[in-house]
Amino acid sequence: MFAFLMWRGIVFSFCSGGLELLCNSVKIHNVNVELQNGAEKLTMKDLLSWIRTNLIKERPEMFMKGDTVRPGVLALVNDCDWELSGQLDTTLEEKDVVVFISTLHGG
């Protein structure tokens, strides 16, 4: 299942492994993320902190650990593992697509 959030053209999507259940299974969210204190760019760190504050109020431990995603969650920026783009420091720009995947084990 996919949940889309809009921020200045950025699409955020939760998919796989029940992550979408953390936001009431709502698939599409249109939101505005304000930049903090005159910051010029939005990073993944900012985005995660915004999601934590505004979106995932119950059981945040199912999505995050500390200021990053919990073990077993992959973050993808433009269909690319965020390990390849700087993890929390990845800069987000207009029309970027962010996807969070929780690994599945069943079969």
Partner 1 sequence: MDSDRGGEASVILRQLEDLKASKSEIERQISALEAQLREITFQKPNGSVSNGSCPPHIPSVDSGYGHDLSPQMIHRYSRHLLLPSFGVQGQSKLLKSSILVVGAGGLGSPVLLYLAACGVGRLGIIDHDVVELNNMHRQIIHAEGFIGQPKVKSAAAACHSINSTIQVVEYQEPLRTSNALEIMSKYDIVVDATDNAPSRYMISDCCVVIGKPLVSGAAVGLEGQLTVFNYNGGPCYRCLFPTPPPTTACQRCSDAGVLGVVPGVIGCLQALEAIKIASGVGEPLSERMLLFDAFSGRIRNVKIRGRSPQCVVCGENAPFSKQQFQEFDYENFTQSPLTPLPLKLNLLQPDSRINSKEYKEKIVSGEAHVLIDVRPEHHFKIVSLPNSLNIPLPRLEARLPEITSALKEKEDHRGTDSGSGGKVYVICRRGNDSQRAVQYLHKMGFTSAEDIIGGLEGWAHEVDPNVPTY
Residues near partner 1, by CB under 8 A: 1-2, 15-18, 61-62, 70-74, 76, 79-81, 83-84, 99, 101-107
For partner 1, the closer CB: 39 or 80: 80
For partner 1, the closer CB: 39 or 84: 84
Residue 91, SS3 per DSSP? strand
Q: Which token pair is 56?
A: 């995932």
Q: How far is the CB of 21 from partner 1 (least distance, A)?
A: 10
Phi, psi of 98 (to 5 degrees): -115, 130
For partner 1, the closer CB: 32 or 59: 59
Q: How far is the CB of 86 from partner 1 (least distance, A)?
A: 12
For partner 1, the closer CB: 35 or 84: 84
The whole-angstrom separation of Cα 35 and Cα 42 is: 7
Q: How far is the CB of 85 from partner 1 (least distance, A)?
A: 10
Single out the residue of 66, 67, 74 nearest to residue 19, CA to CA: 74
Contacts of 88 (CB under 8 A, 6+ apart): 43, 44, 45, 48, 67, 68
